[in-house]
Every structure is written in C-alpha cells, then in structure tokens.
Amino acid sequence: MKNDNSTHGGSSGTLWKKKDLLLLAAVLIAACLLFFLYRFLSAAPAAYGEVSVNGEVVAELDLNQDTSLTVSGWNGGSNTIVVQNGAISVTEATCPDHVCIHTGEISRTGETIVCLPNRLIITIIQDGG
C-alpha cells in the first residue's frame, strides 16, 4: 500500500517538487534580501534631536554628527546642547534648577530633555519611523 502509493505519484510528484523548490528558493532569497535591507536600514537609524524654544523649533540636530550649540531660551536664558556618540545632553544652562542638565544624555526615540525656566524642549525623533 505504502510502496504503491509513492511510486504512483512518483513522476508528477518530482516535477512538482522541483518547481516547489525553485519557488521556495526564490522566496527565501527575497526574504533574505528584505531581511538584510531591513537590518541595514535599522542599523543606522536617521534619528535627530528637535530643539524647540517656547513651542518653536529652533534647531534639528543630527545624532550621528557630534556637535554643540548654544540656544537662547526664554527670557534671556540660554542652554548649551551637546551631541556626542549619538546622544544629546545639556551641559550648561542659565536656569536656576538645572533639571535639564541633570536629565543627562538622551538617545532613544521619544526621550526628552525639558528646561522649564528657559522653555526649552529637546525631543529625539525617528526619521520616517
């Protein structure tokens, strides 16, 4: 029974299997390409820090580019923002509480540094994410 069954569908079954294998290989290659493309794209995310003062965006900082800048905050205050190793931090500020400095470094999408006295907000935004 078992033997008869396998020989019966033998020739046509082999033909199907070859087509199946080709199709499977094509799908696997496509999946691999997509996977590596996705890995490549997610390995270097285009994240940037949006700096706003009093609700207005005053600067957009590329996280992949080390830099520093001083922004004039509300009411004559100022904050020194540093971008280093893909993270943003406030290193100097004229505000009395220094909450923004104590927040430390932020590097993940959605993280924020807020300086209430200077009305400064830094938010990390994922480009196209």
| Distance between CA atoms of residues 66 and 87, nearest Å | 9
Minimum distance of Zn ion from residue 90's CB (angstroms): 7
Contact flag: residue 83 with Zn ion (CB under 5 A): no
Q: Which is nearer to Zn ion, 47 or 115 (CB)?
A: 115
Residues 98-117 that bind Zn ion (CB under 5 A): 100, 115
Contact flag: residue 81 with Zn ion (CB under 5 A): no
Cβ atoms 95, 101 nearer than 8 A: no
Minimum distance of Zn ion from residue 88's CB (angstroms): 14
- What DSSP designation does 75 have? G
| Distance between CA atoms of residues 34 and 42, nearest Å | 12
56-62 sheet: strands from edge to edge: 56-62, 47-53, 120-126, 112-115
Q: Quote the radius of gyration of the chain (alpha carbons, Å).
A: 28
Contact flag: residue 63 with Zn ion (CB under 5 A): no
Cβ atoms 81, 71 nearer than 8 A: yes
Q: How many residues touch Zn ion (CB under 5 A)?
A: 4
Q: Which is nearer to Zn ion, 53 or 100 (CB)?
A: 100
Q: Which is nearer to Zn ion, 100 or 121 (CB)?
A: 100
Tokens encoding 70: 């001083």
Contact flag: residue 93 with Zn ion (CB under 5 A): yes
Q: Which is nearer to Zn ion, 4 or 56 (CB)?
A: 56
The residues of the shown chain that bind Zn ion, judged by CB under 5 A, are 93, 95, 100, 115
